[in-house]
Structure 1
């Protein structure tokens, strides 16, 4: 359609020096007096309302092979409204191509270019004439080359919809791809300023009132990315816009179907079917392609609601007749063109929250459906599981034998309403309710350390289905049991807070399980002794609070804010740790609002079997002994070994080697270990590691291992 004359659009010509709008005058001066590169002034105009416009020719920095057919020189109108509204940039040719990042408008208006995606309330704060002209020039060049939007950004919306917001599950839109389907519409909150509607299958119950809207969902053919120049405002315009969908026939068929339901028994009904008195709604899903032509699926949805009832539309379509307040199928063919003028209100459509949306929002590369078995649904376990589930990660099984008690609530993701219920069952419900997982989370209320055969079998069955096992029990006994049982290749990780609730620890086995949680635990103790930044990490605080009358029923003082922070740090590290083959140890320390992280790869360990006992020696300890030996050659020497002893598993993990005390005596044929400072040093290490590392001496060793120790 030819554009209207410039005088009709922008008023009469004036000298650029006579422009009165500060913005238009500064832009014209920059072009005319300073010769801004790429711009040639044509004329200036002022309308009767006071709006001012600068007409310019702009050189387009386009390649020989371009994506969008922009001309080498484009004629543009830079329009400055009389008030403080945002300036608009209009392309002054009627065959300007459909390109991304343009603003919708009237059919008689020139194409409006969107050079700034910021709202004007923000953009005007640092608006300058030079930046304004640069943005225009950049927009033209990148549009010609197909680089303006790019494939990494979300597709540009077809148009802004000021009407209600409709939320619909992705599976329902996928189902509509096979043919139009009917949905029920509910309003969740009548007090919000903008209507928020939830669309479901008619058979799906919701605790919200159903509205009188008959909503039909359709999927169109693929379209190129870019805003619709003329957003549909009537039923006819919408029907003409939807390629691959005969909307008129689909709506006519659905109206006749609803009408016939009232006449099925052959007798005249007393009243119209309920749906005929409702408003008609059409939810449209547009498969959109990026600038490069890559298919990205259904990412733009819009909802159109009529202002008239279904019965009124049916009469205008010529498929219904009305008599005595009742509607019935029309027996004569009539022209249905009148329905094309039915006005529509357009609203936004959002996909319902699901695993895919959670993954997209969190920036994850696709949906991770691997099964995670979480052992321990306490503070750290519930927070970490909730964080990862909110990112759409993993299919969950939760094992915990405990129940939610009042003192758990202040730093647990579960609400007060779950008090008295199984933590495992409640957390599984919480995860399912959050993401509406298609794979229902499993749970088992059981103690992993139980010797009951049936309980043990149930726990083992859960663990054997896992792709990885997460120990969040904060129990050394549970962690050590999971390190060895069940005897499978399933990777394991353990995470917990220190006793003061100031630090968090994440232990991750290597993918081949050559190093288990037992070795990582012992390495963690060695790090506490050897890394200065970890001083006080495993200090045991006396600041506890009793939550019942029993002396053992006390919990440490730790605010939810810190529990949430430390859990978030663990949660953020888990996906990356599981994406590598190597094992690792991460420790986060908090102090005065700051966080420090200490990271170490899983070390190597040497194993020695003696009868039914195992002595496991870290490579670091072996290297330390070698260094001590070299330093004292040719004299004999002997140091002190410290390790973690597990009498249940018949296992000793040697983690730390100390040099001989200063009063030790050695010769080429003998060595006498001294005692200077040894007792206090060992006591300090034992205290540093929360009592887990102790000196390994003959007197304390099992009889058969005494000679080895």
Structure 2
């Protein structure tokens, strides 16, 4: 058995099923006893402080659906270890004990030289355990083996498998990383965020132009690798040598590509090692294809953090040599040392901060939206601008001459530290805190009704839409009297906050806001379903009131929000 199968460590043998103490292990044993395709080989137990933590049922399972001599290497009879944890919230781990068990897709992450762990489910453990039963679990194992033996476990309509498992460590790139990396001399600082309860953490990469106090900079290297065919998910490497070996199995010369990229960062004059450069971040782009003949389905992006400066990595890989205190390209070294193999690497998932296009895609916004002006940055205006800004919709200027007061905080997006600051400036700063310059909002602290002010006139003249959320009479009536202004709409919320009204001018402004306002009042007066309660205190009035678009009256009430844009026009 030792020659053919793996032996589990740190376990002791159990004489009989009566010694099983974990409820799921006992239930699973009873189900195996009644199953014609399963047979018990051995019972094992792992304990801690005298209490069992895992109970293992070593079984032989036979699968009639496994083709004989199949190309994937699954045998008709396989020996498995069903490792049942004492924690009822954890799934049972299924280990393939055969030493030459094939490397297949849909295996859990494990250690090199350890038994393969079958990935039986697509759902989360909580979802699986809600309907888990021992007979269904045993059948699931056979289903996995039979599908794998026929090459059917990964359907053609399922996304391709990634090369590496997801990491609990993340690297966040700036939204404009693609542009920043064009500068070969660019330097970055990597900041480490707080550690999470599971031990993972997030790092943030930021470009620096000058000295940063108490910060160690990191050089960045981007490597676009040749396409690889998806298949077995590799274990996460711990050293540069392990990473090179993993990619080498996919016919990728990592070190050759790395040496070439390092040499491009050094000109004929050589380079001087910076005392602040203490790390190298290798961002690897790997096109993944479904088969050797197919085009790539997508690009996997992973980062490998090397706690060594780029000069040190260059020396270790034979890309650079040192002469007279400077480092030069080493183009004559055909047999570099293997010192690079022991350089530690930390695999990190790569995420990028949102730009406008990413925000729109994530928000299902199909068009960029208007060049617009928002009049009024109060409770309603700030909420609208917050939604539009986060979703990448439109390019906005905001006009408001008021400032934040304590009572505003009950509904405004501002915080206590903003009390006393101009509302327009506050909403613009909050937007910048979210988008970090990817998109911007231009604040104007002024009276929007005073068209003689140069900042006000300038933004109104270039806008294609003006949204009035000022909840005043002055601005919409002043705008209605000005023929030079673009299309306007006005929106407000009823006093109890349960309804909203939108008044929308037509594209040619043949019906202005002042006319739509009058039509709105007429509808309220003529609506026979309305009670006699004063308008300002009845949200029921809104349910009967129309939303106006030009001279057309709509019978259905529409909540306020983003206008839909088609062919450069806003339509309700």
Taking structure 1 as the reference length, the TM-score comes to 0.59
Residue of structure 2 aligned with 1:232, choices 209, 227, 237: 237
Q: Name which of 494, 514, 521 aligns with 2:490.
A: 494
Match of 2:468 among 468, 471, 479: 471
Rounded to whole Å, the distance in 2 between the matches of 1:71 and 1:522 is 78
Query: Pairwise mapping of residues 366-385 of structure 1 onto structure 2 (< 5 A)?
Result: 366=366, 368-385=368-385
Q: Deviations over 1:264-310 (max 9, x none)?
A: 7xxxx9xx5426x723332224445689x896655x43322335565
Say if 2:38 is the partner of 1:41: yes
Q: Distance in 1 between matches of 2:489 and 2:135?
A: 56
1:171 has 2:172 as partner: no
Q: Distance in 2 between matches of 1:146 and 1:127?
A: 22
After superposition, what is the alpha-carbon deviation per residue over 1:39-71, rounded to whole angstroms, capped at 9, x for unaligned?
x32554445856223332456699xxxxx9898
Taking the aligned partners of 2:192 and 2:466, their CA distance within structure 1 comes to 39
| 2:282 pairs with 1:282 | yes
Residues 31 and 425 of structure 1: is their aligned pair in 2 closer, same or farther, counting only changes over 3 Å?
A: same
2: CA distance, partners of 1:515 / 1:133: 71
Structure 1: distance between partners of 2:75 and 2:480? 69
Q: Determine whether 1:351 maps to 2:352.
A: yes
Within-5 A mapping of 1:289-304: 297-298=298-299, 300-304=300-304
Q: Which whole-Å CA distance do the structure 2 matches of 1:262 and 1:60 have between them?
A: 66
Deviation at 1:147, TM superposition (A): 4.7
* 1:110-149 paired onto structure 2 within 5 Å: 111-116=116-121, 120=125, 127-133=132-138, 136=141, 144=152, 146-147=154-155
* Deviation at residue 507 of structure 1 after TM alignment: 1.0
Alignment-derived partner of residue 506 in structure 1: 501
1:249 Cα deviation (Å)? 3.7
Q: Which residue of 1 aligns with 2:397?
A: 397
Give secondary structure in 2 for the equivalent of 1:102. Answer: coil
Question: 1: distance between equivalents of 2:4 and 2:451?
Answer: 90
Distance change (3 Å), C-alpha of 1:397 and 1:221: farther
5 Å-filtered alignment, 1:361-440, equals: 361=362, 363-366=363-366, 368-404=368-404, 408-409=408-409, 411-415=411-415, 422-440=422-440
Report how far residue 445 of structure 1 moved.
Answer: 3.9
What is the rounded CA distance, in whole Å, between the counterparts of 1:181 and 1:228 in structure 2? 35
Shift of residue 166, structure 1, vs aligned partner: 1.9
- List runs of 5+ in structure 2 lacking aligned partners: 47-54, 556-572
Partner residue, 2:189: 185
Task: Confirm or deny: 8 A CA contact 1:186 1:209 kept in the other structure.
Answer: no
Conserved 8 A contact 2:546-2:554: no
Higher helix share: 1
Where 1:6 maps in the other structure, the secondary structure is coil
Give the TM-score normalised by the residue count of structure 2.
Answer: 0.70
Query: Are the aligned partners of 1:167 and 1:349 in contact in 2 as well (CA < 8 Å)?
Result: yes
1:248 to 244, 255, 258: 255
Q: Which structure has more RCO (C-alpha within 8 Å, separation ≥ 6)?
A: 2
Query: Which residue matches 2:80?
Result: 77
> Offset of 1:474 from its aligned partner?
0.6
The equivalent of 1:700 in structure 2 is none
47-56 or 178-187, larger mean C-alpha shift: 178-187
The equivalent residue for 1:159 is 165
* Shift in Å, 1:381: 0.3
Q: Is the 8 A contact 1:167 1:198 kept in 2?
A: yes
8 Å Cα contact 1:24-1:54 kept in structure 2: no
Q: How many residues are aligned here? A: 526
* SS of equivalent residue, structure 2 residue 281: strand
CA-CA distance at 1:411 after TM superposition:
3.8
Q: Which residue of 2 aligns with 1:6?
A: 5
**CA deviation vs aligned residue, 1:180-217 (integer Å, no higher than 9, x gap):** 886512326578875542213343787x7532543323
Q: In the alignment, is the contact (CA less than 8 A) between 2:503 and 2:547 conserved in 1?
A: no
Structure 1 residues 604 and 431, CA gap change in structure 2 (3 angstroms)? closer
Report Cα offsets for 1:365-399 as digits up to 9, x if no partner: 55635433212112210121112212232222223
Structure 1 equivalent of residue 52 of structure 2:
none
Alpha-carbon spacing, 1:155–1:211, altered in 2? closer, same or farther (3 Å): farther
C-alpha distance after superposition, 1:466-511 (max 9, x if no partner): 2x43221112342345567557884x4332223x343341315387
Q: Give the match for residue 546 of structure 1.
A: none
Structure 2 SS opposite 1:350: strand
Tell me the SS of whatever aligns to 1:51.
strand
Give 1 or 2 for the bigger CA radius of gyration: 1
With over 3 angstroms needed to count, the CA separation of the structure-2 counterparts of 1:51 and 1:155, relative to structure 1, is: closer
1:203 is matched with which residue?
209
Q: 1:427/1:226 Cα in 2 relative to 1: closer, same or farther (>3 Å)?
A: farther
Structure 2 distance, partners of 1:26, 1:484, is 81
Please list, as runs of the form range in 1=range in 2, the aligned pairs for 1:522-601 lying within 5 A after superposition: 522=518, 524-525=520-521, 528=524, 530=527, 536=533, 538-539=535-536
Structure 1 equivalent of residue 560 of structure 2: none
Measured in 1, the distance between the counterparts of 2:44 and 2:547 equals 72
